[in-house]
Amino acid sequence: MPDTIPSLYPPIAPLRHGMLAVDGLHTIYWEEVGNPNGIPVLFLHGGPGAGLSPAHRRFFDPQQYRVILFDQRGAGKSSPLGECRNNTTQLLIADIERLRAMFGIGQWLVFGGSWGSTLALAYGQAHPERCLGFVLRGIFLCTQREIDFFLDGAEWFHPDVYDEFVSQLPAEERGDLLRAFVKRIMSDDPAVYWPAARAWSRFEGRRVFLMPQPEEPPSDTLDLGVGRLESHYMANLGFFEPDQLLNNVDRIAHLPVVIVQGRYDVICPPVSAWRLHKAWPGSVLKMIPDAGHGAMETGITRALVGATEQFKRLRHFE
């Protein structure tokens, strides 16, 4: 990739932001960044439940892009935090369409990483006519194999992290980690759900980067959002039919896509990116040789920004 590609654009404040009530229970936070007359792009955060970060605005040239970002149901500044009722992929897709209509956007580029890539694919397959193309990172197809790898596969690469995670459970419940953690995380008792949610969030967070990073202090917003919503969506297989996102690729196969994947991603393993690439004629797969799962790892960041730079020219990726 040319050295002229920036790693990230400078920090930028939203042009405007607000809250949108999407039903009688959920209200979602949204923000608009960049050039109001620029190429529209939808940013989809990961998790589910991880929420937005100011760094997410920085993948896009603010002179050329009009970026719409939002905290999905139960995440970040949206309320109620960690709420799993009325929270399905199909409802998130409906929320995206409400935002698109609210902003008066006909078509937009869809950018998502990790769970954001899952939601991007689901949204695109439901509304292909609304999409200009896709930039996807850390592919997660929400299959049972991937969920099993996320939970039990951690023992192969991070046995210390895995042991700390399962130590939250009595030995007789360790044969089904998802079921055991869902039972605790969804409890009404704070003395039960907080330790389980923090353990879940820490279990994931310690495996995101290829190289160890300084651990951040616990965050109530992140821990409860990620703990509850990830376990909720995994327990329901993302509200998809088996391999639905691959089986329906033909609905968006005419659109350009760049897939960015860390070679040593132990959260969303590279096989999922490879499967998507093989199923999507014309897709571009950028396998980053020295990266794990994190969007802010240098090679992944540069590849993502490089993809948005290419898309500014409104032509298929090379």
Catalytic residues: 114, 265, 293
Tell me the one-letter amino acid at 133: G
Contact 266, 117 (CB under 8 A): no
Place of tokens 């802010």: 296
